[in-house]
Amino acid sequence: MADRKTKGANVKQLVYTALMTAVIAVLSQIQIPLPGLVPLSLATFGVMMAGLLLGWKRGAVSAAVYLLLGAVGVPVFAGFKGGVSALLGPTGGYLIGYLPYAMLAGIPMLGSRDGFFARCVSLLLGTLICYALGTAWFVHQTGRTLYESLGICVLPFLPGDAAKIILASLLAPRLQKVMKEN
């Protein structure tokens, strides 16, 4: 009987991981074009929620599966793009940044203090890592200066990312409760 419960729990975790991969893919398509090469999308909100709801390991797996789907050509990236060229293009560093982002987002689940502040801090760190990887790659790919790239790739996104961090930090405990009940 215990083996049956373990299998059921594993299937449930697999389903949640796949579901969060799909959520990231769907949220990637909800975007606002901005001047420059980087659209404002809700993909990072999906990555935040994957980490917060699944923990650092499964959250990272969810982000990795999303990236692998995109790499093999499934149009899951913003603007229904897919393929290795999207990962190697100017915004590919931000996409690769989703892996450490999901990991950092899941860190509060490791401790006994999974509070609002801990969630906000982990998401802020994830955002900074994603910005650092993405902006460094953008500078490398486009030849723009760091200052110019920050103005294109970071500054316009700060208010939206702050709102996403607060919303994800508030929403995650409610969704975790629902997930535990089912």
The pLDDT tens digits for 8-59 are 678 999 999 999 999 999 999 998 877 766 778 899 999 999 999 999 999 9
What's the pLDDT score for residue 73? 97
- DSSP letters along 89-117, please? STTHHHHHTHHHHHHHHHGGGGSS---HH
What's the pLDDT score for residue 113? 65
Q: Do residues 114 and 55 lie in contact, with contact meaning Cβ atoms separated by under 8 Å?
A: no
CA distance 87 to 18: 21
Calculate the average pLDDT of the chain.
92
CA distance 84 to 37: 17
Q: What is the dihedral of CA 38, 116, 52, 109, to 10 degrees?
A: 140
The pLDDT tens digits for 2-20 are 566 666 678 999 999 999 9
Grade residue 98 by pLDDT with cuts at 50, 70 and 90.
Answer: very high
> Any idea where the domains of the chain sit in the sequence?
2-181
- Name the residue among 58, 129, 125 with its Cα closest to residue 96: 129
Give the SS3 label for residue 1.
Answer: coil
Give me 93's structure tokens. 């560093």
State whether CATH 1.10.1760.20 applies to domain 2-181: yes
The pLDDT tens digits for 54-90 are 999 999 999 999 999 999 999 999 989 999 999 999 9
